[in-house]
Amino acid sequence: MDMLAREIEDFIVQTVTTAGTRTKYRRPLVGFASADDPRWQELRRIAEPSHFLPQDLLPEARTVVAFFLPFAEEIVRANREADGTAPAWATAYLETNALINQIVQELIARLGKRGIRAAGQPATYNWDPVTLISRWSHKSAAAVAGLGTFGLHRMLITDAGCAGRCGSLVIDAEVPPTSRSHVERCLYFYDGSCTYCVDACPVQALRPAPFGQMNLDKWACHAHLRDVVKPQLGADCCGKCAVGPCALASAVK
């Protein structure tokens, strides 16, 4: 493994292992993508025309570092069994956003001491409150960096599942891209045998649809997070669609 890649991965794993959060994690996944990968342009075409390119975050960008912090199984179980969103899930959401921001800031500082420039985006709330459009998607960055593929619930399914959160940053040093596996991880896209996420959504914001078709009513989802969950648990999250058969690993065995 490339030295810089190993150093970045070790730092992320070590930071998560010693985080001191109430939230417990499984081992983080870390991936790398070239800043010149043609799929950054493709994202503009298939996802959001105003999506930033890596060079918009850092003009000298060479590599995008993406990582996924997978929640412990007990958090998934708690959210699966709860009537609404489990308090443990809300805590994990808040603590993990803070941890992602910490990792990115500390990495920027560490790399900076070695003359490597880096830039990031907040773990969340980097979206327009009117359009709900985010101009830098950590999930998409993680997909380009080979960490997973999108499921019917529009979340990234990694080899450690979808229950967790993604972060990313852009650096001006070259790291070899992570090799990507194109295996299907969502059972609905694989053989149509699962609609767990659609059925679990308390506000019917998701519907079955072919891959690539917009099937999430993000306004309905956002309203639920903001008006129902946040007043109860202090966090605008939900995760009821993220605790099915793809929560902890690929759903396709």
Pairing of strands 164-171, 148-150: unpaired
Give exposure, 13-30, as e/b (b: 16+ Cβ within 10 Å): bebbeebeeebebbebbb
CB 187 within 8 A of CB 194: yes
In whole angstroms, what is the distance from residue 150 CA to residue 140 CA? 9
Q: Which is nearer to ligand SF4, 80 or 153 (CB)?
A: 153
* Smallest distance from ligand SF4 to CB 228, Å: 9
* Smallest distance from ligand SF4 to CB 49, Å: 23
Q: Which is nearer to ligand SF4, 43 or 206 (CB)?
A: 206
* Residues paired with 120 in a beta bridge: 169
Q: Which is nearer to ligand SF4, 28 or 244 (CB)?
A: 244
For tokens 């007043």, the residue is 231
* Smallest distance from ligand SF4 to CB 198, Å: 7
Q: Which is nearer to ligand SF4, 117 or 218 (CB)?
A: 218
* Smallest distance from ligand SF4 to CB 234, Å: 16
Q: Which is nearer to ligand SF4, 15 or 195 (CB)?
A: 195
* Smallest distance from ligand SF4 to CB 152, Å: 4
Per DSSP, which regions of the chain are E strands? 29-34, 63-70, 118-120, 148-150, 156-158, 164-171
Residue 45: how many other CB atoms lie within 10 Å: 10
CB 66 within 8 A of CB 142: yes
CA 21 to chain centroid = 19
At 240, list the tokens.
Answer: 């009821």
* Smallest distance from ligand SF4 to CB 190, Å: 8
Q: Which is nearer to ligand SF4, 16 or 242 (CB)?
A: 242
Residue nearest to ligand SF4 (CB): 151
Q: Under DSSP, is residue 213 helix (H, G, I), strand (E, B) or coil?
A: coil
Query: Among 39, 62, 61, which residue's Cα sits nearest to residue 51?
Result: 39
Q: Which is nearer to ligand SF4, 146 or 245 (CB)?
A: 245
* Smallest distance from ligand SF4 to CB 196, Å: 4
Give me the residues that bind ligand SF4 (CB under 6 A), please. Answer: 151-153, 186-188, 194-197, 200-203, 205-206, 221, 224, 238, 240-241, 244-246, 251
